[in-house]
């Protein structure tokens, strides 16, 4: 992230939008996203006049007046010759955790809008002020792991659901500069009353940063974010290297790590790589507990030499771990596998596969292969113990008609118009650009679909 700059007109020049036929800007009607919309319009008019600009407002239907706010954004867009859509969050609202649910619904609706417009880019108006607040809140909570990846704050770009890049071109710019930009053009914006409600953590922090000494705290927070982001990228690069060199898919559903991987177990990169591997094999979106993974690596380092006689086994984060003479094997544990489900397009299965459904599904279900794995185990992993191959296979999604097993669902073998595409669970929903190297390595290992390049120019 650049240091806070004063001329927001430069903000878009770092984006690679030339090959996109359409770009979406997410506009709440607040100062930041309104400024972003007008900046993007100016930028595209000058540099990529063939690219269509679409403003999208999400009406969360949480406050009286939200529809009128969306209509005000629509009028502003029309005045500037910009297409505008309003999308409503119509689902039932949860009783608690409303802010997080609203945020998730907003991402989903924005991604839907992007797909409908045939683009993979949505720009949002997050600023340097938002970034400083995010980092200070995370630091105060002390969440994140020992390596403090969370202190990197928001990434310049985050891939949502594997398909839409949410890009934040204004992260290096102060809100005040954006407001001055709007005032100079006589453009007004909407003040969201929740932004001033100091019963919430963010507005409280925002008010504190506005008082004496706030600028220094702001600058410190941005420095912390920059440093944490480069540490996080370095760590991800190390993990990617370890996964690429020392991990392979010994058989479907069975990841094998070499002894050298564990031998380097003292490094932060190995610990991070192991956590990514465990989360991906187990199908959990969050990385498993850092301390427990460090203990496992430590134990493997100390005891593996003895494992020649008897495998060393452990389970962690839905993964069965087995150290044998010929490698460390990871597979989804057999407990708590999904019950049979009716396949639906886009459904995430056990956090490990995305189902693709194009055909008729009546009478069909998707469930783990289970004991039927014994029938086909000999087809795979000739250099691995048959029991491991069977165990790995038995956790994979299979197409059933009643009690009859029709076929193992694979990425390409589309049976009855149904396929199961592997996903890397920790990066399936949100993939921040800091983690791209590590994500690509694990996706490559699992034969998952690789992420599209982010629309950022390389320096
Ligand atoms: N209701 C919404 N509709 C469309 N986009 C939104 C909406 N709410 C937030 N966003 C996008 O997410 C960004 C960050 O959201 P945040 O809640 O921090 O901003 P805000 O205070 O609502 O408005 P602004 O950032 O425009 O001042 C916004 O700049 C905007 O791009």
pLDDT-derived band at 19, boundaries 50, 70, 90: confident
Residue 378: predicted pLDDT = 86
Please give the DSSP secondary-structure letter assigned to residue 254.
E
**Domain annotation covers residue 103:** yes
pLDDT greater than 70 at residue 5: no
Ligand 1 neighbours (beta carbon < 6 A): 26-28, 30-33, 57-58, 106, 124-126, 130, 192, 195
Position 315 in a domain: yes
Q: Which two tokens stand for residue 183?
A: 């005032």
Q: How far apart are alpha carbons 273 and 441 in whole angstroms? A: 10
Say if residue 283 is in the same domain as residue 322: yes
Expressed in angstroms and rounded, the spacing between residue 186 Cα and the centre of ligand 1 is 21
Confidence band, pLDDT 50/70/90 cuts, at residue 1 = very low
CATH of the domain at 191: 3.40.50.620
For the chain, the first-to-last Cα distance in angstroms comes to: 12
Q: Can you tell me the ipTM of this complex?
A: 0.94
CA distance 41 to 278: 44
The verdict on 313 and 408 lying in the same domain is no
Is 407 labelled as part of a ligand binding site? Answer: no
Expressed in angstroms and rounded, the spacing between residue 33 Cα and the centre of ligand 1 is 6
CA separation (Å) from 456 to 122, 155, 160, 302, 406? 13, 12, 16, 44, 44
Q: Which of 26, 72, 188 to mutate to test the pocket of ligand 1 (most atoms within 8 A of CB)?
A: 26
How would residue 196 be classed by pLDDT, with cut points 50, 70 and 90?
confident
The structure tokens listed for 131 are: 């970034």
Pick the range with the lowest mean pLDDT from 34-38, 107-111, 309-313.
Answer: 309-313
**Rounded (10°) CA dihedral 374, 380, 383, 385:** -20
pLDDT at 181: 94
From the list 74, 45, 33, the residue with the least C-alpha distance to 181 is 33
In the numeric block, which tokens belong to residue 279? 């989360």
The number of domains in the chain is 3
Range of 408's domain? 348-422
Is 394 marked within a binding site? no
User: Does 148 fall in a domain?
Assistant: yes
142 annotated to bind ligand = no
Q: Express each pLDDT in 285-306 by its tens digit.
A: 999 999 999 999 998 888 887 6
Q: Are residues 307 and 365 in the same domain?
A: no
The reply to whether 308 and 411 lie within a common domain is: no
Check whether residue 155 and residue 275 sit in a common domain.
no
> 133-189: per-residue pLDDT in tens?
999 998 888 766 777 788 999 999 999 999 999 999 999 999 999 999 999 999 999
Token output for 293: 């993974």
Percent of the chain residues past pLDDT 70, beyond the cut: 96
> Which one has a higher pLDDT value, 209 or 284?
284
Residue with the bigger pLDDT between 375 and 18: it is: 375
Task: Quick: pLDDT tens for 257-267.
Answer: 998 888 765 68
Rg of the chain over all Cα atoms, to the nearest angstrom: 24
Candidates 124, 187, 195: which one to mutate for ligand 1, based on the most atoms within 8 Å of Cβ? Answer: 124
Residue 387 annotated as part of some ligand binding site: no
Q: Average pLDDT, stretch 71-98?
A: 95
- Of residues 1 and 157, which shows the higher confidence score? 157
225 assigned to some structural domain: no
Strand residue runs (E) in 189-294: 247-251, 254-257
Q: In what order do the strands lie in the sheet with 312-316?
A: 247-251, 254-257, 327-332, 319-324, 312-316
pLDDT of residue 423: 97
Please tell me the predicted confidence (pLDDT) of residue 414: 66
Cα–Cα distance for residue pair 443/454, rounded to 1 Å? 16
DSSP labels for 63-130? STTHHHHHHHHHHHHHHTT-EEEEEE--SPPPSS-HHHHHHHHHHHHHHHHHHHHT-SEEE----HHH
Which residues touch 182 (CB under 8 Å, ≥6 apart)?
31, 34, 35, 38, 188, 189
């Amino acid at each position: 992230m650049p240091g806070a700059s004063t001329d927001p007109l430069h903000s878009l020049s770092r984006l690679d939008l030339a090959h996109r036929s359409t770009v979406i800007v997410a506009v709440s009607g607040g100062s930041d996203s309104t400024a972003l919309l007008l900046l993007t319009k100016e930028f595209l008019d000058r540099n990529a006049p063939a690219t269509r600009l679409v403003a999208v407002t999400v009406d969360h239907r949480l406050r009286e007046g939200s529809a009128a706010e969306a209509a005000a954004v629509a009028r502003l867009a029309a005045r500037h010759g910009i297409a505008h859509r309003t999308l409503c969050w119509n689902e039932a609202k949860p009783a608690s955790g409303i802010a997080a649910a609203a945020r998730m619904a907003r991402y989903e609706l924005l991604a839907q809008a992007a797909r409908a417009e045939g683009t993979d880019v949505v720009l949002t108006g997050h600023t340097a002020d938002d970034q400083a607040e995010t980092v200070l809140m995370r630091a105060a909570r002390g969440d994140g792991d020992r390596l403090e990846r969370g202190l990197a704050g928001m990434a310049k770009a985050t891939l949502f659901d594997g398909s839409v890049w949410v890009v934040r071109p204004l992260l290096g710019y102060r809100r005040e500069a954006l407001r001055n930009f709007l005032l100079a053009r006589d453009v007004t914006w909407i003040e969201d009353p929740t932004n001033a409600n100091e019963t919430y953590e963010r507005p409280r922090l925002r008010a504190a940063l506005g008082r004496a000494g706030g600028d220094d705290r702001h600058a410190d927070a941005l420095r912390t974010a920059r440093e944490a982001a480069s540490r996080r990228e370095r760590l991800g690069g190390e993990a990617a290297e370890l996964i690429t060199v020392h991990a392979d898919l010994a058989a479907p559903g069975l990841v094998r790590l070499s002894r050298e991987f564990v031998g380097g177990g003292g490094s932060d990169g190995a610990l991070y790589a192991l956590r990514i591997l465990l989360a991906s094999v187990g199908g959990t979106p969050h990385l498993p507990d850092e301390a427990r993974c460090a203990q496992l690596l430590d134990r493997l380092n100390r005891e593996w030499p003895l494992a020649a006689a008897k495998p060393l086994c452990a389970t962690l984060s839905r993964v069965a771990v087995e150290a044998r003479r010929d490698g460390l094997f990871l597979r989804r544990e057999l407990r708590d596998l999904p019950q049979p489900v009716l396949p639906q397009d886009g459904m995430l299965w056990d956090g490990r596969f995305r189902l693709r459904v194009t055909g008729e599904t009546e009478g069909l279900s998707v469930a783990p292969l289970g004991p039927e794995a014994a029938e086909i185990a000999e087809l795979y992993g000739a250099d691995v113990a048959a029991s491991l191959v069977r165990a790995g296979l038995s956790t994979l999604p299979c197409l059933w008609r009643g009690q009859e097993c029709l076929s193992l669902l694979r990425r390409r073998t589309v049976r009855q118009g149904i396929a199961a595409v592997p996903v890397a669970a920790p990066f399936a929903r949100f993939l921040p650009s800091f983690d791209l190297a590590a994500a690509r390595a694990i996706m490559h290992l699992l034969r998952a679909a690789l992420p599209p390049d982010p629309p950022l120019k390389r320096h």
